[in-house]
Amino acid sequence: MPRALPGFLLLSALAMAAEQPPALAPAPAPAPQPSAAVSLAEAIAWADAANEGPAIAATQVARALAVQRQARSLLLPSATATAGYGTLSNQDDWWGGRSDETLSGSLALTWYLYNGQALPGLRQTERQTEAARLSAWEVRRALAFTVTDGFLDVHAAEQSVAAAERRRATAAQSLTDAKARLNAGLAARGEVARVEVEDASADLALTTARRSLATARLILADVIVRDVPAALGDAIDLEALVAAKVTFQAIPLRAQGETVDVFDPAPPVSLDSVSNPAVQSRLVRTASSLRPDLRALRENLAATQQAVAQNRNQYLPDLTANASYSDRDSNAPRSPENSPEWRASLNLSWNIFDGGRREAQIDAALASRSELALRVMQAERRVVRDLALAAQDLVSGRAAVRQAEVQVKAARINAEDVNQRAKQGLATALEVADANVAAFEADSELVRRRLALAQSWFALRKVIGLWPLDSVPTR
């Protein structure tokens, strides 16, 4: 009996444990919620707020405004106040005496009634200020397209990494199968060596793709001045772009809450019609009236015309009105009577000869005007060329993407067929490796062509004078 007691106690403990309710298992940790994908509009807004480019352009506008105020000051009167105090010891008296003291003060007013250089100079600075504002707007627009390019590069790099990972997985499986066939005596060593080469090549391709992705993210982070989020939204609907279901139209250009360029919106332009000469002519006119860089060039050209007028007006005389009031007080015994004095005068000054300085300045201003006129002509001519090239790239890019999609479909079907035949012993590992390489190359080519198509679309918008997206910042 004593020997049975431990067994009895053990059975009793097990029975009591069975009657107790089972302990609740710890609740699984909630799955992390995927962060919302960052849109292209958000990335552009980040860059516009944090990148130094717009801030530098804003300081240039502030400097132009300061120069404009300086030019305006020549049209306004200037007032000058002076005050003086003098003391002189009395040395004529042998016993000395108190010093002679004199207090004086004056107020002078000068006003250029006519200054031939002042008004053209003011108009010149006004044009230069407007050019600086338009250039600042163009800096922000160019920055938005830089963000867009970085956005597209990151997307393309991510797709390249995905294609390289598929190739790497298939190559690893092919190598495993090839070694198994070699051990079973169903494959030659040369076949396994060829598959090992493909496995190493797939690993290198994956490493290269990941490095390209890291580089693209670093470049984009430098532009938006913050770390690139893990998830990025689509920059554009490529399927709609390939199907020519995307349209665009010119919109009023706004900056800092004010309409900089009032442009009558034209009917939407479809992608099928961008190669039409009539449509391209209309888009050229749109770009000519909408693009800030072209408008800034024209403003600078107008400024040089005012500079020519300013220098030519040096041949004209200046008419100045002067008025002054002065008073003095002195305790010197022999000082004149202390009384206030008023003076008014009109002065006419005429620089008849200055050694040829005016002629040289006029020639320099004329040369600057000719240079800017040629630059405007060159920029307008390049708009025609760039628009035609962007339209051609867009049309050919759509065809290239369609061909690449068909190629990817065929390569994947071929890879699946080869893998199925390999499982049945009807295809060698070399055939599997070749099919894997062909599928990867087709995927990579599709990524490149999609990237080129998206870039050509945004290039067309940039040439016309639009922003990457229809939304335009207003601050």
DSSP for 416-441 reads HHHHHHHHTTSS-HHHHHHHHHHHHH
Domain contains 92: no
CATH number of residue 257's parent domain: 1.20.1600.10
pLDDT along the chain (475 residues), means of 10: 40 41 39 62 93 96 96 92 81 57 88 91 96 95 95 93 92 86 79 88 95 96 93 76 60 42 52 79 86 95 96 92 87 67 91 90 96 96 93 90 94 90 80 88 92 90 87 66
Domain contains 93: no
User: Of all helices (H) and strands (E), which one includes residue 323?
Assistant: strand 318-330
In the prediction, which pLDDT does 395 show? Answer: 87
Cα gap 43→56, rounded to integer Å: 20
The domain tally of the chain equals 1
Cβ(438)–Cβ(265) below 8 Å: no
pTM for the model: 0.80
In the prediction, which pLDDT does 31 show? Answer: 38
Domain contains 132: yes
**3-class SS of residue 33:** coil
Domain contains 19: no
Cα gap 113→319, rounded to integer Å: 5
In the prediction, which pLDDT does 89 show? Answer: 64
- Which residue do the tokens 């620089």 mark? 351
User: Of all helices (H) and strands (E), which one includes residue 105?
Assistant: strand 100-114
In the prediction, which pLDDT does 363 show? Answer: 96
Cα gap 280→175, rounded to integer Å: 55
Q: How many CB atoms lie within 10 A of CB 349?
A: 8
In the prediction, which pLDDT does 259 show? Answer: 41
In the prediction, which pLDDT does 170 show? Answer: 87
Q: What is the crossing angle of helices 118-183 and 52-72, to 10°?
A: 170
In the prediction, which pLDDT does 338 show? Answer: 63
Count helices and strands (H / E) in the chain: 10, 8
Domain contains 15: no
Residue 381 lies in domain? 43-75+104-327+336-464
Q: What are phi and psi of 457, to 5 degrees?
A: -65, -50
271 CB-near residues (< 8 Å, 6+ apart)? 241, 244, 246, 247, 394, 395, 398
In the prediction, which pLDDT does 20 show? Answer: 43
Q: What are phi and psi of 116, to 5 degrees?
A: -60, -20
